[in-house]
Structure formats: structure tokens, C-alpha cells
A and B are shown apart, each in its own frame.
Chain A
Amino acid sequence: MASTSNSTSSKIITLRSSDGEVFEVEESVALESNLIRRMMEDDCANNIIPLPNVTAPIFYLVIEHCKKHAEMKDNKEKKKELRSQGEELLKSDPHTYSNLMEAVNYLDIKSLMDLTAQWLADFLKGKSPRLIRELLKIKNDFTPEEEAEILERNRWAFD
């Protein structure tokens, strides 16, 4: 299930997630990650590369995003598709999305970092602090007085 190899003959890199699952990934996809690139340059290429900070489901998501991203170059339709999938994940499961962002940051994948950050920024656009808390499941730790003061100072920024 976790294997992402296909019939092409490109080189396969083997990686192990923090929860012990082993992934076989095409080199071209794996090299999107600057972290993996650096590890391979340090001559780990023939061994299984450990990823102690990334769990299997999140790593699976990262790989799928990388693949899609490679496909979407110069393809507007694909770009839209990837974006709407990212947005859907953000809406339905913000927790996983935050894990995805952390993993992308850890793996140092610039292109995905830009995309996932932009989607989240667009998602936050126009939403009130209350709605942001509700959707992202963040606890409001301001006292009512503090909140009233913030609102008074920045009334223009709120609806």
C-alpha cells in the first residue's frame, strides 16, 4: 500500500517513516526534498533513509503532493485540481494539514512549502478570528477584556 513505485525504470529510493513503514519512491520525486538530497549526497543512497520526524500517512501525502506538483507544471487544469484538493483537506482535516506543512518544512521541499502556505493564507483571508479558531480548532486564550480591547483598537480590520 505504501509503495509508490511504478513500471518506469528510474532509480528507486527507499525511505522509512518514524512509525517504521518503508516507502519506495522514485528518485526524481524524492529529490524534491532538499533534506533527502543532502542525505543522499552524504552517501546514504544505498541504505534505507530514515525520516524520524514524519509519520507514514503524512509522508504518503507529501509524496502524492510532490508527484502532482511535478505533473502540474505548465498545466493549469492540474494546478487547479491540486489546489482544490489542498483546500478540501484544509477544510475537512486541518490537523493533518498542519502536519503536512510541518513535514514539508522538515523535508525542505520549497515548491510545496510555497503552495501549502499560500493555500492556508488564502483560506484565512476574510475570516474572523472566531471563525479561524473554530475551523482550525484553536482555543481562545484571551480574556473577554483583552479581546474587547483588541477589537476596539483594530475595529477597521473586523466586520
Chain B
Amino acid sequence: MKINMVEVSRHYLDLPQIKCHQVGKMAKWINLHQELLEIIFDLCLLPYQIRMRSVCKTWRLILKTPRELPWLMMLPKKNQEEDHRHQDPDARAFFSLSEQKEDHHPDACAFFSLSKQKIHTIHLPEIQGKRCRGSFQNGWLMIIDELDIFLFHPWSKKRLELLHRSTLDFKYHSCIKHLGIPYMKMMRPHRIRKAALSDDCKLMVVVVYESDMVQLAFYRIGDDAWTDIVVPPGPMDVIYHNGQFYCITMWGGVYLVHIENGNSYAKRLTENMKEPFGGLYLVPDMLTDTNIMFVILRERVTRANVHETRDTIHFHIYKFPLGEKGPLDQEKEVVNKLIKVESLGDRVIFLGYNSPITVMASEFPGLKGNCIYFTDDSGASYANGPGDCGVFNVEDGTVEQLFAHGYHPAFAPPIWFATPPYSSYQRD
């Protein structure tokens, strides 16, 4: 017997006794048992939790958004392309862990929540098959493919067009002569290594590969071209912190990069490192002392018998003071020495293509402090096996794989995504 529950409820609601009951109808949802509201709230993604809390005062009072650790974003692949990798048994096993596997869609973007140990899948055709080369504190992403470059916000789905990639194409045509324009186009998404974005989303600086060198370039919304930043040469990482851009070169020297009216100049802040062999990151200490900047060196070794794949084995941590009033206010150029750091204390740092994220472990139950969570930002091919993603324990110097099942994303390396409690979303 097929029962139409709507009809049943309508039938009953016609009874006089029920009609009396309907007087309190408006308030019913608000008075829904607190426990029930919390169950529903817990099932919702963070942005929808924030919306739920904005429905009425009662809900705002009852429902509290827990702070979450950064999410690991795994980009959807292109249709049909690289389908054999989608069949990867490890990948299937990984997704079968997800409680929401029914929602899994080939072009859904997967966000793995470390706090909840759960995958949230979100349908994001806007960035399907594209690459992400920047994940900023305020939740914006820098998305690149062969044709476009734009800023994208996954929740609001807002999109800010940046200048067409062709203006960022190789200026030195040696490559193009030999390999042709199709090659150049194919390489476009891979040419940006790192990106930093100002808080107002209007100014960005990228580390970009030229044919035979690496340099910085900046773009201000509304400009008609990307502008080269010639000094410092050989940049490895760029970040935005307290209204300023900072950059570290492949020799381990840290610079302040100041951009004004289409011009730029750089001011050296630290001496070069003695052995800067590896990936270099700048991490401002946003939680305890804004006058300190960490410099982190990532040491990798080539994986045995696997071409072009390297694994991280260690992180070396240094720091230097940014100065009381900020480096721009200093009349004389003060070049700091890097000081070796033996422990991050309670801090946990998240590194990769993202802007660095730091949290205090004690604020998250079950999280161990003095660790670095890292993802692969080497630009290596993903055909060679699991990506270089893991957790480095500063105390004992060990590395643990992030994915116990050896899962690796089918299309592109995973990227840390800042859930807003860290920045734009203030707690109340």
C-alpha cells in the first residue's frame, strides 16, 4: 500500500482538534528541542551553520559554531580526462570512508574536515578541471587554467576576473620557438608557483616561472597588465601580512616588497641562509606575537626508483623579528640574522600552495602541537603515486603520511583551505 504522507497529514489537519493545535504553529520550529536542533546543525556544513545561526535569536543562542581546523580541498577533475586514475582502488577506498558518499559526484569538490574526519562534497563546476595556486586567509582561491585566471570564493561562488593569462605568458620566447604555442598554453597553469593576496582582494603578488628564471609579478584589480617585480631575484615564497607583502628568495633572504602606484621596491630584512636547499616558506606568527616571522625550510629527498617524485623528510625552522613598528618605519636598513627555532610550542602550521595558517593545538581537542601539516607544492606529476602530504613532528623529527590508505588525489595536489573562523569570521 502506497501512502502519501502529505495527503495523510492534510487529512488529519482537517480535524478540529488539530486546528486548535495550530495556534502555536509559528513558534514551533524555534522551540524545537535543543538536542534536535544541535543534531541538524551538526549535519550542516560550516557556511550553512552560519546561515542557520542568522535565522533568529533563539537559534543563535542555542547553536554554536565550533572552530574547525583547515579543510583539505581536493579539486574535481575534468570530465573523461584521467579516468583511469579515478578507478584507483585507493581513491575508491578513501571515498568509501565518507559518510556522504551518495552525494559524491565526479565534478564535486571534496573538502576533508580534519576536525570532523569527514568529507564534505560540494558541487563546484566553476573550478572543475582547473588548478588552484592560492588559498588565502579569507577563503578566496586563485584558480587557473589554460584560458582564465580568477579569484573564486567557494561558498558565495563569487568570481573576480583577473587579467587574461596571455599577459603573464613567457616574455622570453626561446621556449615558444622550440615547442610552439600549444605547449606554452599547456604550461600556463603551472607557471604560477605561489600567490599572495591583500585583505581587500585588490592587490596580488605571484611567484611566476619565466622560461629560465623565477620572478615576482603583481596585479592590481583594474590594471591592464601584470607588472614585473625584478628585485629580489629568485623568489620562492610570497605572503601578505599586516598590510605588507613579504618574499623569500631561493638563497633564503627575506625581503619586504612594497608596491605603490604601479611601482615596486624591495627592502632586505634578513641575511641569506647558509644552506637554503629545499622549499622555503614565510610564516608570520599571528597568534602570539605579530613581531615575529618564521622562516621554514622543507627538506625533500628523491623517492627511490620513482622519477621526479620527492618526499619531505624534515623541516628546519628559523625566526627573525619584524621590528616594533613594522619594517617600513625603520629609517636604517636593519638586516637580521635568522635564529634557529627548536620548537613551535603549542603551534600547528599548515603549509602548501596555501597562504600559511597557524593554529594553537590546545584550542582543538585531540590535536597535537609542535607539528607542521604539509601538502605537495612541488608541481610534480601525480601519475607517480601518492603525493608528498604529511605531518611533521618537530619534537622527534618524524614524518607521518597524511593519508593512511596511500590515497592520492586523482587530478591535482590537495590544498589547505582556511575555514573562516581564523580570519574574516569573528566569533561571538
Which residues of A are at the interface with B, using a C-beta cutoff of 8 A? Answer: 19, 55-57, 60-61, 64-65, 85-86, 88-89, 92-96, 98-99, 101-102, 105, 113, 117-118, 120-121, 124-129, 132-133, 136-142, 147, 150-151, 153-159
* A125 vs B45: C-alpha distance when bound (angstroms): 8
**Are A57 and B28 within 8 A (Cβ)?**
no
Residues of B within 8 A of A124 (CB): 40, 44, 48, 51-52
Least distance between B33 CB and chain A CB atoms (Å):
6
Please tell me if the beta carbons of B33 and A159 are within 8 angstroms of each other in the complex.
no
User: What are 9 A-B pairs at a CB distance below 8 A?
Assistant: A60-B8, A89-B5, A93-B9, A117-B36, A121-B43, A121-B48, A129-B51, A133-B55, A141-B57
> Nearest B residue to A154 by beta-carbon distance?
B50
Mark out the residues of chain B between 44 and 61 whose CB falls within 8 Å of any chain A CB in the assembled complex.
Answer: 44-48, 50-58
From B8, B44, B155, give the contact of A121 (CB < 8 A).
B44
Residues of A within 8 A of B406 (CB): none
Please, what's the 1-or-0 string for B134-153, where 1 marks a CB less than 8 Å from any CB in chain A? 00001100000000000001
- Residues of A near B52 (CB, < 8 A) are 124, 129, 132
Q: Is the pair B44, A129 in contact by a Cβ cutoff of 8 Å?
A: no
Chain A residues contacting B13 (CB-CB under 8 Å) are 57, 93, 96
- Which residues from chain B contact A117 at a C-beta distance below 8 Å? 36, 39-40, 43
Given A60-B8, A156-B153, the answer on whether A125 and B44 have CB atoms closer than 8 Å is yes
Query: Does B4 lie at the interface of the complex (its beta carbon under 8 Å from any beta carbon of A)?
Result: yes
The answer to the question of B15 belonging to the interface, with a C-beta cut-off of 8 Å to chain A, is yes
Are the CB atoms of B44 and A156 closer together than 8 Å? no
Q: Do the beta carbons of A157 and B4 come within 8 Å of each other?
A: no
Could you say which of A60, A96, A98, A101 has the most chain B C-beta atoms within 10 Å of its C-beta? A96
* B279 proximity list for chain A (CB < 8 A): none
> Contact between A156 and B156 (Cβ–Cβ < 8 Å)?
yes
**Within 8 Å CB of B10, what residues of A?**
93
Supposing A102-B32, A137-B26, A138-B55 touch, asked if A157 and B9 sit within 8 A by C-beta, the answer is: no
Write out the residue numbers on chain B whose beta carbons fall within 8 Å of the beta carbon of A126: 48
Q: How would residues 387 to 428 of chain B score, 1 for a CB under 8 Å from any chain A CB and 0 otherwise?
A: 000000000000000000000000000000000100011101
Measured between beta carbons, the chain B residues less than 8 angstroms from A93 are 6, 9-10, 13
A126: min CB distance to chain B, Å: 7
Contact B40 A121 (CB under 8 A): yes
Question: B197-230, CB under 8 A of A: which get 1 and which 0?
Answer: 0000000000000000000000000000000000
Partner of B51, one of A56, A88, A138, A158: A158
Q: Is the CB of A64 within 8 A of B39?
A: no
Q: Given that A57-B13, A101-B32, A137-B29 are known contacts, is A88 also in contact with B44, CB under 8 Å in the complex?
A: no
The answer to whether the Cβ of B17 comes within 8 Å of any Cβ in the partner chain is yes
Shortest beta-carbon distance from B280 to chain A in Å? 30
Q: How far is the CB of A38 from chain B (nearest CB, A)?
A: 18
Neighbouring B residues of A85 by C-beta, 8 Å = 4-6
B20-33 to A contact mask, C-beta < 8 Å, 1/0? 01100111111011
Contacts of A121 in B (CB 8 A): 40, 43-44, 48
Q: B277 at the A/B interface (Cβ < 8 Å)?
A: no
* With A57-B12, A132-B51, A156-B139 as contacts: A95 and B43 at CB distance below 8 Å: no
